[in-house]
Amino acid sequence: MTSHRRFVTSVAWSMLGNAANNLVGFAVFAVIVRLVDPTAIGVLAFAVVFVDMGKIFVSAGVPDLIVRQKEWSDDYANMCFWLNMLVGALSALVVVFIVGPLADANFAAGTTPILAVLASCFLIDAARVVPESRLRREFNFRALARRGLIANVLSGVLGIGMALTGWGIWALVAQRVSSSLLTTLFTLAAAGWFPRLKVSFEGAGAAAAHGFGLAGAALLRLLTARLPDLMLGLFLGPVSVAMYRVGARGFEALFQLAVHPVGSVSLSSFARKEHEGTLGRAYLSTLRALSVLIFPLFLGAAALSGQFVALIFGPNWDESAVVMAILCAAAPAAMASALLHAALSAAHNTKLIFFLFAVSAGSTLLVLLVSVPFFGLVWSAAALAARTYLGIVFSTILAAKSIGVTPPQALRAALPSLVSSWVMLGALLALATVLHNQHILVQIPLLVAAGIVVYAFMMGVIFRRSTVAALSGASEIFPQLAKLHPPAAWTKFLGRTGLRGRKAGLGR
């Protein structure tokens, strides 16, 4: 297999595995939510925040170090393995003996035993880092995807079975721990590598310094995403955490499927354009093209959140539906932020990326400190959405020079699809009030069809020029699209607009 084909195949398996695991995880979560008390959902969501923080330090930097090694070294891999295990053990002790008692006193009694069991994931996941990195080094993403999916399915069956037999919160705990354990066992078997007891810690200092440097940015990113769970838990209790987490889970599943792959692909494209000196043009063309597809997807999901949450999670999660709608309404800004970070990575401006993460975490904390105690769950979600839109404006202004764009250019690239998507959202909310007496399964297809019609009208008639520019720019940034032969209708449409055969300008 050629290096190019191996790369493309690896990316495909990585994206497929990520999508499949997210779908399976979401399906299991949806089933268990219907069977378990909301308080249990909130307690676990609160506990998992600390588990996820600890896991950042368990693996930080080691995958990069292993993959970047010119030749595989068993001695170096063995040192990294035991270094990870040491960090995992220390993280478990901190969570059990420091975080646990504090959570019992300030959040919900009985949280410590749950944290103690979940803390086993630190050691389990630490044992997986090196063999997983070896598989990535060998571009064996197929093995990772298949074994990860099998582990998630088996652990999901265990969790659902325990929930059906009345285990409550322990069904969720067992599902998470068993998923980590099975994934680690399968990965060790696939990699064919096992650690030795005899170990030399030569080079451990440099590895630790590299890892903790990367962990800082990862921790800030995680804090920004999970601060709402922490603040809602501390001020309002487990039920509010559960309401937020159920609404956020629907949004996150869609974001993982639609936006995360975009960041990976865009980074590769931007890196190439950076070498050619056309990063700014590439960023604007990509933003214009992706906004046409992704903005209506999320604002349509915002309009359908009530029907979606009632259908998937049950009728007792009305606040979760509002939370999901608000988070989806803020998704255009979140997508633009992900794209901006990819462009900054291509421009090698890691200091600005870290600064933006720090500002995002700090402003999120400030917004939550003001909104949660005084205004409650829904208004806190709305304040976070407003912060996301203000944040992308601030980030674009700071990043403009690094990536070679001006804020007005970025605004013109995204504004047509943003306006069209918000018009579509307003129309769907109005239609939903008319259809509220209809069955959910009747409402959903009617709303989807109406959304397609409204958005197609806005982009095909009102903003037709911008739509053609977006699609033309997509083939310029992703050359694979240029190899596809457009249908006759599309060619005729390009001819009528006068854009066939010439490139779209940046300002259009």
What's residue 490's pLDDT? Answer: 43
Chain Cα centroid distance, residue 418: 21
Instruction: For residue 31, give every residue at least 6 positions away whose Cβ sits within 8 Å of its Cβ, in sequence order, or none.
Output: 160, 163
Distance CA 38, CA 45 (A): 11
Complete DSSP assignment for 67-84:
HH-SS--HHHHHHHHHHH
Q: Which long-range contacts (CB under 8 A, 24 or more apart) does 173-178 make?
A: 173/44, 173/114, 173/117, 173/118, 175/28, 175/32, 176/48, 176/118, 176/121, 177/117, 177/118, 177/120, 177/121, 177/124, 178/154
Distance CA 238, CA 103 (A): 11
Half-sphere exposure of 199 (CA within 13 A, CB side): 18
Instruction: For residue 470, give every residue at least 6 positions away whose Cβ sits within 8 Å of its Cβ, in sequence order, or none.
Output: 285, 288, 289, 291, 292, 417, 504
Going from the C-alpha of 69 to that of each of 6, 62, 63, 137, 267, the distances in angstroms are 19, 11, 10, 9, 22
Half-sphere exposure of 180 (CA within 13 A, CB side): 20
Q: Which of 25, 23, 323, 58 is nearest to 172 (CA)?
A: 25
What's residue 458's pLDDT? Answer: 93
What's residue 208's pLDDT? Answer: 64
Instruction: For residue 179, give every residue at least 6 positions away whose Cβ sits within 8 Å of its Cβ, in sequence order, or none.
Output: 151, 152, 155, 156
Distance CA 412, CA 110 (A): 53
Going from the C-alpha of 442 to that of each of 257, 307, 446, 449, the distances in angstroms are 26, 10, 7, 11
CB-neighbour burial class of residue 344 (10 A; exposed 0-12, middle 13-18, buried 19+):
buried
Phi/psi of residue 485, each to 5°?
-85, 120
Instruction: For residue 170, give every residue at least 6 positions away whose Cβ sits within 8 Å of its Cβ, in sequence order, or none.
Output: 162
* Tokens 């764009």 found at: 405
Confirm if 203 and 41 have CB atoms less than 8 A apart.
no
What's residue 209's pLDDT? Answer: 64
Phi/psi of residue 302, each to 5°?
-60, -40
Tokens of 30: 């949806």
| All structural domains of the chain with their residue ranges | 1-202, 230-465
Distance CA 168, CA 139 (A): 40
Confirm if 121 and 92 have CB atoms less than 8 A apart.
no
What's residue 40's pLDDT? Answer: 87
- Other CB atoms within a 10 A radius of the CB of residue 492 amount to 11
What's residue 486's pLDDT? Answer: 45
Q: Which residue ranges of the chain lie beneath pLDDT 70?
A: 1-15, 17, 60-65, 67-70, 200-215, 261-269, 271-272, 274-276, 472-508
What's residue 349's pLDDT? Answer: 80
User: How many residues are present in the chain?
Assistant: 508
What's residue 221's pLDDT? Answer: 79
